[in-house]
Every structure is written in structure tokens, then in C-alpha cells.
Amino acid sequence: MKFATRLNSFPNRSVVETIDQIAAVSGVTHVDLNYPEHFQTNKVEDIKEALTRNNIKLNAINPRFRSDFINGELGNSDPQVARKAIDLCKQSIDVCRELGGEHVIIWLGYEGFDYSFQINYAQVWKQVASAIEEICSYGSDLKISIEYKPFQPRAYSFISSYADTLLMVGDVGASNLGVTLDFCHMLMKDENPSYGLSLVAERNKLHGIHLNDGNKLNDDGLMVGSVNFIQTLEFIFYMKKYNYQGVIYFDTFPVREKPLEELQANIAMFTKLDQLVDQIGIGHIQSIIDRNDAVAAQEIMLACLK
């Protein structure tokens, strides 16, 4: 099992110190880094050395668009800003290669709209598709994925669901382009996470998973399995069914919790749910699904409570 966690959960430390701290937790195999924010206090070589020293691998580089992009990133109506957004993704690809990673995850936080008549939907769609195509071509040796979120900070995100993300992936048509699913973002959209996972995985487009939990209408970033237990179990069942071999990144926000303890709790819960799926049996669970019987499906919950 490959696990990664959120560096920003560990405040007041440099990236190198944080890597040292996280690496001490049993089970952690990878880290994700944001570009450029995690490269401001430590050089790439120092981070590389810290990863090697701790036997931790880089999972993904996540380009982070700040205030210059408040009116949109790849689809910005100002061509210079849109070009800067493409360049930031290309720089993220360069850094990812330098650190031996294989995945760049693009979350377009500011791409969207707040008002009716604010943007030209079709034109922005084509502009974003063309930019992503250019990025995928530049990073053709890496996996590139889109992480969608339905809203926040915009009232409406431009890419907001598994459905429009898959539509964008299809329109771009690059073989290295896929989807990163964030469980909490799926809940915000009122999606059933496993349905989305299944549609994405059926198309071999499941590049990444951000696991967490929440109360639906906010990106709460709560601990894995703490609110939506049975939906998390189902999600892990489908991860196993589709033989997901990528990294599980815990995108949780320990604001008041001790971050190392919170990370250990996420690993413990994931491990327990993974074992429960094995104990109940993938084949047995599948046979219950195949009966299309809600009462029979309750047997799975009861088996967890035994």
C-alpha cells in the first residue's frame, strides 16, 4: 500500500524538516509537493536529498495558482495570464522529473464563475482543453491529472464533477491525462464516490485518490471514515476491484489535532477498512451487489459491526 500525506498539515517547519518528520510514521511511502510554495525555503536538491535519506518517494507535484490567477488560470481571458498558468504547469513537470516523480495533479481553483453572463462557457472550455493538451504533450512521460472540486473558492468551478472532468479528458484526448478523485470534493457535489470511481476506472483514467471525509457542503478534510463510513468502505472495495495501484493521499486538515496522530489514525482506518473488505470477501460483496438487493447489502454493514 502506498500512502502520502499533506505537508501543509505540519506548520512552522521547512519542507525538509517536514519530510523528516513524516517519514518517521510507519506506513508513509510518498509525499506530494506544491509548486512553487514548497520550493521557496528549500532548494530542489535539498528536497531530493531529504527524500532519498528517508527512503520516501515523490508522488505528485501540484501546481498552486495564487492571486495572479484570481480570475481564472488556463482559461483566463487575459492571454498573458493564461500563458503564465501553462508555464507554471510546465515548471511543475520539470520539478517532478527532477525529483523522480511521475504525476502532476492540476486543480484549477480559480477557473470558474460567480455570476450569470460572466464567462463564455464554450470558449473557455476550448481554451482550457487546448492548454491541457499542450501541458500533456510537454509532460508526455508523466501522468497528468485533473482534480475537480465543485465550488470554493468560486461559486461554480469550471470543472466540477467526475462527469465534466471525464468529458474534458475525452475532449483533450491525451493518453497520459486522467483524473484524481478527492472523496470530500465528491461529497460536496452530492456524488456517490464509488459511482464516480467506477466510471473513471472503467476508462483507465484513475490516476490519483485523495482520501478524507466531510459533511457534504464544505471541504472539511476530516479523518478517513469518520463521517461516511459505509461509503468509504464501498470506495475502498472499488479501489481494490479495479486494482488501483497508485498512491492514497490523505487530504485531511488536522487544524486542532496533532498532525502525526491524525495521520496515524488515517492509516489505521484505511488498513482496517481494507482488511474488512478482504474478510467479508470481494467475491461475496460482488455477489451481494449482483443481487441488486438493499436488504442483502445491509449484511455488509452488519459484518463490519461483528
Of 54-62, 118-126, 156-164, 250-258, which segment contacts Mn ion by CB under 5 A? 250-258
Query: Which residues 32-91 are close enough to bind Mn ion by CB under 5 A?
Result: none
Establish if 234 lies at the interface with Mn ion (CB under 5 A).
no
Of 176-184, 265-273, 282-290, 292-300, which segment contacts Mn ion by CB under 5 A? 176-184
Inter-axis angle of helices 121-138 and 79-98, to 10 degrees? 30
73 or 182, CB closer to Mn ion?
182
The correct pick among 32, 102, 111, 182 for binding Mn ion (CB under 5 A) is 182
Query: What is the smallest separation between the CB atom of 226 and Mn ion, expressed in angstroms?
Result: 17
Rounded to whole angstroms, how far apart are CA atoms 198 and 235? 9
Residue labelled with grid coordinates 498558468: 85
Ramachandran sector of residue 292 (left: φ over 0; alpha: ψ -120 to 50; beta: rest):
left
# of chain residues touching Mn ion (CB under 5 A)? 3
5 or 127, CB closer to Mn ion?
5
Nearest 5°: the CA angle 213, 215, 218 is 95
Strand pairing report for 112-113 and 156-157: antiparallel
The correct pick among 32, 73, 251, 262 for binding Mn ion (CB under 5 A) is 251
127 or 160, CB closer to Mn ion?
160
CA distances from 68 to 76, 113, 248, 306 (A): 10, 16, 31, 54
22 or 181, CB closer to Mn ion?
181
Of 55-63, 119-127, 231-239, 244-252, which segment contacts Mn ion by CB under 5 A? 244-252
Of 166-174, 251-259, 278-286, 287-295, which segment contacts Mn ion by CB under 5 A? 251-259
Residue labelled with grid coordinates 525555503: 41
154 or 210, CB closer to Mn ion?
210
16 or 88, CB closer to Mn ion?
88
In this structure, what C-alpha cell is assigned to residue 197?
470511481
Q: Name 95's Cβ contacts closer than 8 Å, sequence gap at least 6.
A: 33, 35, 39, 44, 61
Q: Nearest Cα to 231, choosing from 196, 278, 265?
A: 196
In this structure, what C-alpha cell is assigned to residue 134?
499542450
Establish if 210 lies at the interface with Mn ion (CB under 5 A).
yes
Longest pairwise C-alpha distance within the chain? 60
- Residues contributing to the site for Mn ion (CB under 5 A): 182, 210, 251
